[in-house]
Amino acid sequence: MNSSMMIGGMDSSLYMDSTTARTLNRSRAAPSAKPKFVRFTNSTQTGRNVSKVRWLLDNSYIGVPDPYASEFFVSGSWSSVGDENDVGLWSLEVGPSAKEGEKDAKVTLITKAIVKGNVTDMSSLCGDRFCLCTSDGALYVYKCNKNRDEKFVSVTQAAASQLFTYRGQNSSATAVAVKDDIIVAAGEDGSIIECNSAGLGVIRRLERVDPLSISSACFVGRETVMTGNGGGQLKLWDLRSDSDVPVQILNPNVLMNNLYGASSICQHPSQTHAIIVGYQSGCMDLWDMRLGPDSDPVANLTSEGGALSEIYFHQINSDHFFSCAQSGQVCHWYPAERLSNPLQVPVEYSSDLNIEFLKKGLVFKEVHTSPFPINSMSLSRNDRIVVGSDSGVVFCTEIRV
């Protein structure tokens, strides 16, 4: 029996099902006793169902989160009348409030552009650019332009390419992943296409390689991409290889994730072989890619909310991660301060993943709740979160990890 089985296996799991639920409930009842941290919150109505939000990459970031830094994010919408959707560029300005110890946050729409079809995924690129894919199967690169005062004023389309078509009909693109200047887009038809970000020239085309639709994609190495499909499988692709066959396939825990898609994949910032995957079932699995194709997840975590939309590790404090769900919850997950239940000690745990919550147990707090589905979130380097929902609201707040 390999080490992952002990943790991830159905019987011996210490993080599964009821145990987890109990841990979670406890965390609600007795929130952690950290000193009170006054965060700013801002809710802004965009007027459109927000499908994606992403912070622009911040070139001026110097390593220490600045609570008063101005930041910019982009939003994409879906399901608008007439099938024309918005891509918005927004600024977040934070300043001290009249009340002592509090902050005022202002979110302003700088400009917006119209895009045909629903925005299905977005990703920020260097040089104030971002790319997005649509339900019409197109991939676009946009550039945010500054004026002489170094202020953003407009957004222009830098490149566009119709990537996904089948028998003359457009088929939906579903996910984009970015590594430096390379964009990988995946589609509902199971295709994976690698492009350069400059002109969207196709470098590699893996045509209909997944028999199911691909629902999420994430770079896990310079040339390797992990995709998740509608059946919850994870597949690792080597873009350098000539073969159309994935390097590795990770099958979901059938009992918990049967027939549910993998909606979001995130790689651990320092232990790059560890990935966390959010499923439509509401489960989150932590995988160790080194354990090989037939391995089980290292930990199978359940959340109380419905289908997970996105999941992200904190880039610096990587024992913390964040999730948002269709049930309207945005959660901050972090290791328990101390073991609250001795039964939780994973005695036989021997995976060499150095992840704190595997040892101590996991608790969470709700950062935000909405009665409506939350489709997307993004974490900035200044520890801000932006969240986009089907109610049309973009919600910004600050996090402390």
Partner 1 sequence: MVLKSHNFAFDFSGSQVVVTKPNSSELGQLALKHFADEPYMRNFIVSSAEVFVLAQKQFKSCYPDPVPQTTITALSQMYRGIILELVQNLKDVGDLETAALYSNLDFVWNFCEIIFLSSNPDLPVLPYLIDWVRINFDQSSKILPEVQQELPDLGQQCIDKVWKLIYTHVFHGRTREAAKLLPFVNPRPGNSHSNGVGTSASLKNKIEFMTELLEKKPRYNPRTGSFTDFESSWASWREECVNRLEQRVFYGNEQLTFICNVLCGNDEGFSEARTKNLLTWYEYLVMLINYRFPIIRPSALKGYARKVVSDFGLGDSLEPRDIILFHAMEYDIVNVLKEIQAVWNNPWYSTHFVDLIYAGGKFSEVTDVRIDYSSVPPLRTHFIIDYGTTIMEHKPIWQIGVPYFEALEEPLRKHLIGKCIERINPKTEMEAQKLVQIAGQFNLSSELSGICRKVAVDKLKCGQMQNALLWAIKAGDSSLTTHIVDQILFEGDCKIEASLLESLRNAIPCSDRLVFLSGFCDFRKLMDKKDYANAVGKLCQLIKEDMIPKRINHKIIQHLVTLHDKNVKFRANETTILMEFVHLRVGINKIEPADFTRLNMLLVCNRANEILTMFNNKTFKQ
Closest approach, Cβ 401 to partner 1, in A, equals: 28
372 lines the binding site for partner 1 (CB under 8 A): yes
Q: How many residues bind partner 1 (CB under 8 A)?
A: 51
Closest approach, Cβ 196 to partner 1, in A, equals: 26
Cα(148)–Cα(124) distance, integer angstroms = 23
Give the one residue of 42, 49, 300, 329 binding partner 1; rule: CB under 8 A.
49
Residues sharing a CB contact under 8 Å with residue 180, sequence separation 6 or more, in sequence order? 126
Long-range own/partner contacts, residues 266-269 (CB < 8 A, 24 or more apart)? 266/218, 266/311, 266/312, 266/313, 266/321, 267/218, 267/219, 267/220, 267/226, 267/313, 268/313, 268/318, 268/355, 269/313, 269/314, 269/315, 269/316, 269/318
Nearest CB to partner 1, comparing residues 326 and 380: 326
259 lines the binding site for partner 1 (CB under 8 A): yes
Nearest CB to partner 1, comparing residues 234 and 336: 234
203 lines the binding site for partner 1 (CB under 8 A): no
361 lines the binding site for partner 1 (CB under 8 A): no
Nearest CB to partner 1, comparing residues 190 and 361: 190
Closest approach, Cβ 230 to partner 1, in A, equals: 6
The answer to whether 276 and 264 have CB atoms below 8 angstroms apart is no
Q: Output the CA torsion 303→309→313→319 (10° steps).
A: 0
Give the one residue of 91, 241, 251, 271 binding partner 1; rule: CB under 8 A.
251
Give the one residue of 27, 46, 161, 295 binding partner 1; rule: CB under 8 A.
46
Give the one residue of 370, 376, 378, 380 binding partner 1; rule: CB under 8 A.
370
232 lines the binding site for partner 1 (CB under 8 A): yes
Q: How far is CA 5 from CA 11, 44, 68, 219, 247, in A?
A: 9, 45, 46, 26, 22
Nearest CB to partner 1, comparing residues 67 and 211: 211
Nearest CB to partner 1, comparing residues 310 and 319: 310
Nearest CB to partner 1, comparing residues 272 and 369: 369
9 lines the binding site for partner 1 (CB under 8 A): no
Residue ranges binding partner 1 (CB under 8 A): 45-49, 78-81, 118, 120, 135, 166-167, 169, 171-172, 174, 188-190, 208, 211-213, 215, 230-233, 249, 251-252, 254-255, 257-259, 261, 280, 306-307, 326, 370-373, 390-393
